[in-house]
Chain A
Amino acid sequence: MRAISAVAVNVFKESVRDRVPYNLALFAVVLIGASYLLGQLTAGQDVKIIKDLGLAATTVFGLFIAIFIGIGLVSKEVERRSIYALLAKPISRPQFILGKYAGLVLTLAANVGVMTLALYAVLAYLTFAAPPQLREAWDAPGLDPRLLQALGLIFVQLMIITAIALFFSTFSSPMLAAALTFGLFVVGHFNADLKNFDRVMQSKPAIWLARGVYHVVPDFSAFDIKTEVVHGLPVGAAYLAATIGYGLAYIAGLLVLSVLIFSRRDFK
């Protein structure tokens, strides 16, 4: 456990050295700038749009961090040949992979945490600036704690993307790993269609193949509850628990595969 946390802390420190937190400043500028502009453009919908923008920006910034740092987690060590020095230390290969993953998840957690605070700060300003009559017309309160449900699922989604990037990073080049991870991110939003392939096809093998792909490809559309949360619509606790559980199980599967591939890899 100490070895894993040592690797994780190093990954976190390296991301800070790589100026990853700069994205937080950009996030704040986007939100504050948008909150000013939207008041003039949106016919009283600024709070709704700031929520949409904040949640979308959290996803996009997190996606870029997960992909562009995730793909380099292993390959960078191999390219720099620092992997030899690392593996000579009392760190097993599974510990190395898990530590790398935990480090990037820690970076993401810090980013998502700060973005959440920034989003709530902007929403607090807009809420207190709005007259009470306008506030009553909103679908959901400005400082709605249910936003945390959407942010929580976004975070789990980012954890899956990190695990995918790490998985590809164990056996392919950074460019290919980035392309494959981004491709899976896109395909993962469409895969709910695969489940209902029987409505458009007659062929049993094709239907079974589609079902198989549906279960293999990550189901990212299930993590998207942004619209419901922004409009104050209820999202069941059981749905949240099942989706988070699915995400954690999928991550566990990817990490096991990553460890297996990395353990068999020859660095000579």
Chain B
Amino acid sequence: MTADRRLAGGAALAVAAFAAAIGLQMARDAAYPRDESADRALMYVQSPAALGRIVLSFDALAADVYWIRALQHYGGDRLSQTKQRKYGQLYPLLDLTTALDPYFTIAYRFGAIFLSEAYPGGPGRPDQAITLLRKGIEAQPAKWQYYHDIAFVHYWQLQDTEGAARWFRMAAAQPGAPNWLEPVAASMLIRGGDRASARFLLQQILQSEEQWLREAATRGLRQLDALDAIDQLRVIVQRFPPPAGERYSWQWLNRRGVLRGIPTDDTGMPFELDPVSGDVTVSPRSELSPMPARSPAPK
């Protein structure tokens, strides 16, 4: 046997061995599925101070790893069809990320959006979102974006217009802050956070350089459009109630000639009409769901 043939034979043998290993691995995984959720929930180190020491000078890289884990955890739970959404590790992961890299702006800002998102779209923890952003302010006190984001959480998730106005004012006082923050703060106080103010605020955010922020603003604007549509539909539904003994339905309104077809939101998902009370809501299956905790009142 020549050396070349021996080499080729050896290579073929190695390929066959690796192929067998992969085949066995796939067969084993199919027969004994592993509980991925348990793996994901495991955090070996929970203390930011301890982790900062363990990783020596590689803290920024470790922060990146924890950031990716936070994204995977949030996305995994949010998209999961099989298990209950918990988002239990989201705040600890973001806390570790920002402890390892205190200047990781996107982790504070994006993380706050994740945390404040109402359940089941997120854990519905605006308090944790604000804590995270306050941590960002400790690291970079002049960063107006963190004040702005706290104001937004106060306004959008907590419906606390006074708190929002206070934080918008603080954002406006930071160096380099855009000049539209002060009018927004004023409108919070004067009009108590009506939909027009919300639309103005979201349109400002839509000018942001960051794509994810623009996407969040676009979603907010679509939610406002849905709220406007719901208001109009509620008026129609109450003006044309079904005959005694019948339930509220879109079909009845179609038969009356008041509406054509079933009205849908911007995502194409039909609005839900409660057959008993006649209340109109966004479908839970819509991309716009969940809507903000308490929707801003129309002007």
- B58 near A56 with CB under 8 A, answer yes
Given the complex of chains A and B, what is the CA–CA distance between A28 and B117 in angstroms? 40
User: Would you call A116 an interface residue if the criterion is a C-beta within 8 Å of the partner chain's C-beta atoms?
Assistant: no
Q: In the assembled complex, how far is the CB of residue A199 from the closest CB belonging to chain B, in whole angstroms?
A: 15
Q: In the assembled complex, how far is the CB of residue A83 from the closest CB belonging to chain B, in whole angstroms?
A: 35
Chain A 5-49, CB-CB to B under 8 Å as 1, else 0, gives 000000000000000000000000000000000000111110011
Q: A43-B71, A137-B210 are in contact. Are A231 and B103 (CB under 8 A)?
A: yes
Q: In the assembled complex, how far is the CB of residue A40 from the closest CB belonging to chain B, in whole angstroms?
A: 10
- A53 near B61 with CB under 8 A, answer yes
- A49 near B64 with CB under 8 A, answer yes
List chain A residues, Cβ under 8 A from B108: none
User: Would you call A211 an interface residue if the criterion is a C-beta within 8 Å of the partner chain's C-beta atoms?
Assistant: no
In chain B, positions 210-239 with a C-beta closer than 8 Å to chain A are 210-212
- A42 near B103 with CB under 8 A, answer no
Q: A52-B61, A52-B64, A137-B209 are in contact. Are A41 and B56 (CB under 8 A)?
A: no
Given the complex of chains A and B, what is the CA–CA distance between A189 and B101 in angstroms? 16
Pick from A43, A55, A227, A231: contact of B212, CB below 8 A: A43
Given the complex of chains A and B, what is the CA–CA distance between A2 and B297 in angstroms? 84
- A186 near B56 with CB under 8 A, answer yes
Q: A139-B105, A190-B53 are in contact. Are A44 and B210 (CB under 8 A)?
A: yes
Pick from B59, B63, B110, B209: contact of A43, CB below 8 A: B110
Q: Which residue of A lies closest to B68 (CB)?
A: A41
Q: Which residue of B lies closest to A34 (CB)?
A: B64
Size range of the chain A interface in the assembly: 20 to 34
In chain B, positions 111-159 with a C-beta closer than 8 Å to chain A are none
List chain B residues, Cβ under 8 A from A227: 59-60, 101-103
User: Would you call B67 an interface residue if the criterion is a C-beta within 8 Å of the partner chain's C-beta atoms?
Assistant: yes
Given the complex of chains A and B, what is the CA–CA distance between A42 and B110 in angstroms? 11
Q: Which residue of B lies closest to A50 (CB)?
A: B64
Given the complex of chains A and B, what is the CA–CA distance between A45 and B67 in angstroms? 10
User: Would you call A220 an interface residue if the criterion is a C-beta within 8 Å of the partner chain's C-beta atoms?
Assistant: yes
Q: A56-B61, A226-B60, A227-B60 are in contact. Are A44 and B103 (CB under 8 A)?
A: no
Q: A45-B106, A231-B103 are in contact. Are A136 and B209 (CB under 8 A)?
A: yes
Q: Which residue of A lies closest to B102 (CB)?
A: A227
Most chain B CB atoms below 10 A, which of A189, A190, A233: A189
- B71 near A41 with CB under 8 A, answer yes
- A59 near B103 with CB under 8 A, answer no
Q: In the assembled complex, how far is the CB of residue A236 from the closest CB belonging to chain B, in whole angstroms?
A: 17
User: Would you call A238 an interface residue if the criterion is a C-beta within 8 Å of the partner chain's C-beta atoms?
Assistant: no
Given the complex of chains A and B, what is the CA–CA distance between A228 and B57 in angstroms? 12
- A43 near B56 with CB under 8 A, answer no
- B64 near A134 with CB under 8 A, answer no
In chain A, positions 226-267 with a C-beta closer than 8 Å to chain B are 226-228, 230-231, 233
Given the complex of chains A and B, what is the CA–CA distance between A43 and B58 in angstroms? 21
Chain A 131-174, CB-CB to B under 8 Å as 1, else 0, gives 00110110100000000000000000000000000000000000
- B106 near A43 with CB under 8 A, answer yes
Q: In the assembled complex, how far is the CB of residue B125 from the closest CB belonging to chain A, in whole angstroms?
A: 20
User: Would you call A224 an interface residue if the criterion is a C-beta within 8 Å of the partner chain's C-beta atoms?
Assistant: yes
Q: Which residue of B lies closest to A51 (CB)?
A: B60
List chain A residues, Cβ under 8 A from B67: 42, 45
- B103 near A45 with CB under 8 A, answer no
Given the complex of chains A and B, what is the CA–CA distance between A227 and B71 in angstroms? 21
List chain B residues, Cβ under 8 A from A134: 209, 211
List chain B residues, Cβ under 8 A from A49: 64
Given the complex of chains A and B, what is the CA–CA distance between A226 and B63 in angstroms? 12
List chain A residues, Cβ under 8 A from B64: 42, 45, 48-49, 52-53
Given the complex of chains A and B, what is the CA–CA distance between A44 and B107 in angstroms? 11
Q: Which residue of A lies closest to B64 (CB)?
A: A49
Given the complex of chains A and B, what is the CA–CA distance between A133 and B213 in angstroms? 13
- B210 near A233 with CB under 8 A, answer no
Given the complex of chains A and B, what is the CA–CA distance between A230 and B211 in angstroms? 21
Q: Which residue of A lies closest to B71 (CB)?
A: A43
- A44 near B56 with CB under 8 A, answer no
Chain B 43-58, CB-CB to A under 8 Å as 1, else 0, gives 0000000000100111
Given the complex of chains A and B, what is the CA–CA distance between A59 and B58 in angstroms? 9
List chain A residues, Cβ under 8 A from B212: 43-44
Most chain A CB atoms below 10 A, which of B59, B72, B212: B59
CB<8 Å pairs between A and B, sample of 25: A41-B71, A42-B67, A43-B71, A43-B110, A43-B212, A44-B106, A44-B212, A45-B64, A45-B106, A48-B64, A52-B64, A55-B60, A56-B61, A134-B211, A136-B209, A137-B209, A139-B103, A139-B105, A220-B57, A226-B60, A227-B60, A227-B101, A227-B103, A228-B103, A231-B103
Other 14 A-B pairs with CB < 8 A, given A43-B71, A59-B57, A134-B209: A42-B64, A42-B71, A44-B211, A45-B64, A48-B64, A49-B64, A53-B61, A53-B64, A133-B209, A189-B56, A226-B57, A227-B101, A227-B102, A233-B103
Those 8 A-B pairs whose CB atoms lie nearest each other, nearest first = A224-B57, A137-B209, A231-B103, A56-B61, A52-B60, A189-B56, A49-B64, A137-B210
